[in-house]
């Protein structure tokens, strides 16, 4: 008498991915409710079990569904939006501005459903997410029928779903309470990263995770820059720092871990932290090569993740598994490391263990949930197939199979895809909605990118300064004599400063865009040392309002503190041309006939252009400007350069000519 089950898979190449990496060919698997009740050689299983639904797998591979160990599913809607950029330009120039504008419960729901469609199609049954409005993500995931760890983000900055981290933490608590115990969703808290949180946030998140026994999902040591900053600021690398905040009292899932040392690996192992290795993202953003083989040697559970589709640009775990093997080989100069079986294990059982769900999913074993996929390995790109060695089956899947070879997907005993047809999602409708949203995002960015000015404003922090200036510049043959004449009694000195200035001018093909100046100002003290440095970005208008008595009337438009490097701005604004100028500037703030003037004595050193005197004063009307222009000419005479050659161009115009 056979035992009755719900579904019986027969005639399959069964890759269990269990502790012994058992394979059965032909093999069979029996499912009852949401559980796997039998796995083994077909001959044996069909004698013991019967079912109404018998699936003849026709020689396909039957294996556990893949585990995507780190992603941000709603970012599916931002894929292909901005690529081939450095992390900061990509994040601060594109992702954050667009997220500030568009991320909402509706956005994350649509992005999650789209991501579920793609992941189901490519054989993913479980994923580990971190984003905003995670309650809506969890609901959409459950609706799609997928299994996921859903981590509500907490950061020290205002987020799209919360004005402060206190609100985020309260949201995370309510979210965890609501979803704890759900058959598909494991709620989690996700302090974004050590650099984007505070010790208080990390401690609170760890306590929350501990209180509810849920995972804590965090980015760790993704870039060398992050580690360098942590060392500079805290005197230690990232893992000891988060340990100090009590993070490892929780069940941690650490994404990336590209730049960690052997001691940090041991700390992570001791804490039973799971790792997500994200090869595509690490390559595309040039974050580096994660020490995968070393982490495996230490005994860490290393899963594989796609990261968000905005930095990948897809959710294709077949591609990630192959890359996990390829990149480990190349970066360690040893083609024998991370062989196919290991890579596939990382994406199945070990990935589930990394998510602290090893008891539930990740392998075809009796008592685990029925999370499984069928993969057609008979197509031309997978042919022929060798049988000599059990390793051949893994090599075929890892090195030749494509995500599009996945034909059927079951999660928790429920079908999500049969013969390439999605059963829980309306893919057509999702594609239409995604297209409509993309058009809005395109329009938003097109508006923003229409001018250098709007791109500057989009970065935040810039200040309009619509000043008109009276200005004259003359060539100075004898700077020392001029400095001497600054002591004349008619001139009242309010302030005197010595600067060393490095200017980078970015010029654009459309001259009406103006020129952008990145200036690094070094204040030099009386000992000749640099006392302080500040960087400013100024958008200079191209047009001049007119000239009066050799005195120019110009308008400087937008000022912003330059919080990023000149490299950032260069990559963000993509100028057609750049010119650098280095000069020494003596700057006096004086009064002459009760009118404020700024006098700059510049020695342009790089390129060597000699010395120049600039006299400037703010103005507000044509009449006022006429008066001040008169005073400027008097000042020139006073300073002994009344007959000097007048220079009508900026240094940059002389150089650009």
Within positions 557 to 616, which residues make up the interface with a second copy, using CB under 8 A? 571
Report d(CA 408, CA 420) in Å as an integer: 6
- With beta carbons less than 8 A apart as the criterion, state whether 307 and 360 touch: no
Q: With respect to a second copy, which residue has the nearer C-beta, 105 or 288?
A: 288
- Which residues are 463's β-sheet partners? 559
Q: With respect to a second copy, which residue has the nearer C-beta, 386 or 496?
A: 386
Q: With respect to a second copy, which residue has the nearer C-beta, 85 or 96?
A: 85
Segment near a second copy (CB under 8 A), from 79-87, 131-139, 241-249, 538-546? 79-87
Residue 557: CB minimum distance to a second copy, A: 25
User: Is position 79 an interface residue for a second copy (rule: CB under 8 A)?
Assistant: yes
**Binding to a second copy in span 28-57, by CB under 8 A:** none
- The helix (run of H) or strand (run of E) holding residue 513 is none
Q: Which of 35, 41, 54, 85 binds a second copy (CB under 8 A)?
A: 85
User: Is position 292 an interface residue for a second copy (rule: CB under 8 A)?
Assistant: no
User: Is position 92 an interface residue for a second copy (rule: CB under 8 A)?
Assistant: no
Burial of 621 (0-12, 13-18, 19+ CB in 10 A): exposed
Q: With respect to a second copy, which residue has the nearer C-beta, 280 or 471?
A: 280
**Binding to a second copy in span 191-210, by CB under 8 A:** none
Q: Identify each DSSP E strand in 348-413 by its residue range.
A: 372-375, 406-411
Q: With respect to a second copy, which residue has the nearer C-beta, 38 or 110?
A: 110
**Binding to a second copy in span 430-469, by CB under 8 A:** 430-431, 434-435, 437-438, 441-442, 445-446, 449
How does DSSP assign 578-592, residue by residue? EEEEEEEEEEEEEEE
Q: With respect to a second copy, which residue has the nearer C-beta, 46 or 124?
A: 124
Q: Which of 396, 412, 554, 566 binds a second copy (CB under 8 A)?
A: 396
Q: Which of 282, 301, 513, 566 binds a second copy (CB under 8 A)?
A: 282
How does DSSP assign 596-617, residue by residue? EEEEEEEEEEETT-EEEEEEEE
- Which residues are 591's β-sheet partners? 492, 596
Segment near a second copy (CB under 8 A), from 63-71, 73-81, 194-202, 523-531? 73-81
Residue 85: CB minimum distance to a second copy, A: 6
The token duo for 390 is 């059990």
Report d(CA 268, CA 301) in Å as an integer: 10
Burial of 352 (0-12, 13-18, 19+ CB in 10 A): buried
- The helix (run of H) or strand (run of E) holding residue 23 is strand 23-32
Report d(CA 328, CA 497) in Å as an integer: 55
User: Is position 285 an interface residue for a second copy (rule: CB under 8 A)?
Assistant: yes
Segment near a second copy (CB under 8 A), from 229-237, 315-323, 498-506, 519-527? 315-323
User: Is position 280 an interface residue for a second copy (rule: CB under 8 A)?
Assistant: yes
Q: Which of 342, 408, 298, 308 is nearest to 68 (CA)?
A: 308
Residue 177: CB minimum distance to a second copy, A: 33
Site track for a second copy across 356-395, x = CB under 8 A = ----------------------x-xxxxxxxxx--xx--x
Report d(CA 255, CA 354) in Å as an integer: 10
Q: Which of 21, 41, 81, 609 binds a second copy (CB under 8 A)?
A: 81
DSSP 423: S
- With beta carbons less than 8 A apart as the criterion, state whether 320 and 280 touch: yes
Q: Which of 315, 346, 539, 635 binds a second copy (CB under 8 A)?
A: 315
| HSE-CB of 94 using CA atoms within 13 angstroms | 23
Site track for a second copy across 324-353, x = CB under 8 A = -xxx-xx-xxxxx--xx-------------
Q: Which residues, other chains included, contact 384 with Cβ-Cβ below 8 Å and sequence gap of 6+?
A: none
Q: How many residues does the chain have?
A: 657
**Binding to a second copy in span 107-146, by CB under 8 A:** 114, 117-118, 121-122
The token duo for 283 is 């390559």
Residue 118: CB minimum distance to a second copy, A: 5
Q: With respect to a second copy, which residue has the nearer C-beta, 330 or 576?
A: 330
- With beta carbons less than 8 A apart as the criterion, state whether 309 and 281 touch: no
Q: Which of 195, 399, 502, 598 binds a second copy (CB under 8 A)?
A: 399
Q: Which of 402, 498, 603, 618 binds a second copy (CB under 8 A)?
A: 402
Q: Which of 52, 84, 466, 509 binds a second copy (CB under 8 A)?
A: 84
Residue 5: CB minimum distance to a second copy, A: 32
Burial of 112 (0-12, 13-18, 19+ CB in 10 A): buried
Q: With respect to a second copy, which residue has the nearer C-beta, 270 or 577?
A: 577
User: Is position 23 an interface residue for a second copy (rule: CB under 8 A)?
Assistant: no
Q: Which of 288, 358, 479, 640 binds a second copy (CB under 8 A)?
A: 288
Q: Which of 400, 556, 630, 633 binds a second copy (CB under 8 A)?
A: 400
Report d(CA 8, CA 6) in Å as an integer: 7
Torsion of CA 69, 71, 74, 76, to 10 degrees: -110
| 3-class SS of residue 460 | coil
- With beta carbons less than 8 A apart as the criterion, state whether 73 and 107 touch: no
Segment near a second copy (CB under 8 A), from 24-32, 188-196, 313-321, 367-375? 313-321
Residue 544: CB minimum distance to a second copy, A: 32
Segment near a second copy (CB under 8 A), from 149-157, 423-431, 474-482, 530-538? 423-431
Report d(CA 533, CA 549) in Å as an integer: 36
Can you count the helices (H) and strands (E) in the chain? 22, 26
Number of residues that bind a second copy (CB under 8 A): 74
Report d(CA 440, CA 78) in Å as an integer: 12
Q: Which of 256, 316, 305 is nearest to 148 (CA)?
A: 305
Q: Which of 167, 236, 283, 540 binds a second copy (CB under 8 A)?
A: 283
**Binding to a second copy in span 210-249, by CB under 8 A:** none
Residue 388: CB minimum distance to a second copy, A: 5
Residue 271: CB minimum distance to a second copy, A: 28
Site track for a second copy across 524-563, x = CB under 8 A = ----------------------------------------
SS3 sequence, 517-558?
A: EEEEEEEECCCCCEEEEEEEEEEECCCCCEEECCEEEEEEEE
Q: Which of 314, 256, 284 is nearest to 90 (CA)?
A: 284
């Amino acid at each position: 008498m056979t035992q009755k089950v719900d579904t019986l898979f027969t005639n399959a190449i069964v890759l269990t991915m269990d502790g012994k990496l058992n394979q059965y060919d032909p093999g069979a698997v029996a499912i009852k409710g949401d559980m796997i009740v039998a796995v083994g050689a077909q001959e044996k299983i069909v004698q013991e079990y019967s079912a109404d639904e018998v699936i003849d797998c026709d020689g396909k591979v039957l294996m556990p569904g893949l585990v995507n160990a780190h992603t941000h599913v709603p970012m599916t809607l931002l894929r292909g939006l901005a690529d081939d950029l450095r992390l900061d330009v990509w994040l601060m120039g594109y992702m954050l501005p667009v997220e500030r504008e568009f991320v909402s419960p509706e956005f994350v729901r649509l992005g999650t459903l789209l991501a579920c469609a793609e992941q189901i199609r490519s054989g993913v049954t479980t994923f580990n997410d971190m984003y905003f409005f995670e309650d809506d993500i969890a609901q959409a995931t459950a609706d799609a029928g997928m299994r996921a760890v859903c981590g509500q983000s907490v950061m020290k900055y205002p987020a799209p779903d919360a004005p402060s981290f206190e609100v985020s933490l309260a949201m995370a608590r309510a979210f965890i309470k609501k979803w704890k115990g759900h058959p598909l969703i494991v709620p989690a808290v996700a302090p974004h990263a050590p650099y984007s949180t505070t010790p208080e946030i990390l401690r609170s998140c760890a306590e929350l995770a501990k209180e509810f026994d849920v995972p804590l999902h965090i980015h760790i040591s993704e870039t060398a820059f992050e580690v360098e900053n942590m060392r500079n600021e805290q005197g230690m690398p990232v893992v000891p720092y988060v340990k100090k905040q009590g993070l490892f009292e929780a069940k941690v899932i650490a994404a990336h871990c590209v730049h960690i040392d052997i001691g940090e690996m041991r700390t992570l192992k001791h804490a039973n932290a799971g790792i997500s290795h994200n090869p595509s993202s690490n390559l595309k953003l040039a974050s580096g090569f994660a020490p995968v083989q070393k982490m495996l040697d230490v005994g860490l559970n290393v899963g594989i993740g796609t990261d968000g589709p905005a930095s990948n640009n897809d959710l294709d775990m077949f591609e990630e598994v192959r890359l996990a093997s390829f990149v480990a080989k190349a970066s360690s100069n040893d083609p024998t490391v991370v062989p196919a079986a290991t890579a596939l294990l990382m994406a199945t059982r070990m990935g589930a263990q990394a998510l602290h769900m090893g008891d539930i999913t990740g392998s075809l074993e009796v008592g685990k949930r029925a999370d499984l996929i069928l993969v057609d390995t008979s197509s031309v790109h997978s042919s022929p197939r060798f049988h000599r060695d059990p390793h051949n089956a893994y090599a075929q899947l890892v090195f030749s199979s494509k995500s599009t070879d996945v034909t059927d997907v079951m999660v928790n005993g429920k079908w999500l895809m049969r013969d390439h047809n999605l059963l829980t999602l309306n893919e057509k409708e999702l594609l239409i909605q995604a297209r409509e949203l993309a058009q809005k995002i395109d329009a938003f960015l097109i508006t923003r990118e229409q001018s250098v000015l709007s791109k500057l404003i989009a970065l935040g922090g810039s200040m309009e300064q619509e000043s008109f200036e009276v200005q004259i510049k003359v060539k100075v043959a004898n700077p020392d004599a001029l400095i001497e004449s600054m002591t004349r009694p008619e001139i009242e000195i309010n302030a005197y400063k010595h600067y060393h200035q490095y200017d980078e001018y970015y010029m654009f093909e459309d001259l009406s865009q103006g020129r952008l100046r990145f200036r690094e100002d070094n204040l030099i003290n009386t000992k000749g040392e640099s006392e302080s440095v500040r960087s400013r970005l100024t958008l200079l208008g191209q047009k001049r309002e007119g000239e009066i008595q050799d005195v120019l009337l110009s308008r400087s438009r937008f000022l912003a503190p330059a919080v990023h490097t000149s490299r950032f701005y260069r990559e963000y604004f993509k100028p057609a041309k750049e010119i650098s100028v280095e000069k020494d500037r003596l700057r006096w703030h004086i009064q002459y006939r009760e009118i404020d003037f700024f006098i700059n004595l510049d020695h342009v050193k790089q390129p060597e252009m000699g010395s120049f005197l600039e006299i400037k004063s703010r103005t507000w009307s044509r009449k006022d400007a006429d008066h001040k222009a008169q005073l400027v000419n008097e000042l020139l005479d006073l300073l002994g350069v009344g007959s000097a050659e007048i220079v009508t161009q900026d240094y940059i115009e002389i150089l650009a000519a």
